[in-house]
Amino acid sequence: MEKQKIKFYGDPVLRKKCQKVEKIDQSVREFAREMLKTMYQEEGVGLAAPQIGDTRRIIVVDIGQGPLSLVNPEIISKSLSKEKEYEGCLSLPSLNLKIKRSKEVILEGYLLEKEQKVQIKAKGLLARDFQHEIDHLSGVLMIDHVSPLKKIRAIKKLKKFLKKYQV
């Protein structure tokens, strides 16, 4: 199984709204394993399908507590309490931006590791990671959560980095 290539800012797939997975079969399980392998090799804590060019609603995360592979994840509840913390993104290399997100979320989706539909209550880094990856499934990037001026600066820095390293 070969590592998948990360799609970077500017690739149209990152702005697409992902489609619900209708059937969870061996190909979906294999794809999630490929996503995990890629995420670990790139030293990320999360990865969404569009980041490797696929438009299915699949995410993988591991904040150090073991991998979670979720199909058709949806955030069904968010706490009103929010915090601003730094985030990075494999598709936006060189950027670390302070993003305001809910401190706690409840996520619903099909957990491949348990082979069943689950609800997960998450807080802290896991809640942040879920929100970040599920944003990707809607074509939303972390730069969309900052002020217009910060967004312009971030895009300029990102384009310079991508050009310099010919990514």
Catalytic residues: 133
Bridge partners, residue 71, by sequence: 58, 110
Separation CA 167–CA 101 (nearest Å): 29
Residue 104, both tokens: 């706690």
Start-to-end Cα distance in the chain: 23
* DSSP conformational letter for 142: G
Separation CA 104–CA 125 (nearest Å): 9
Residue 32 near residue 24, CB atoms below 8 Å:
no
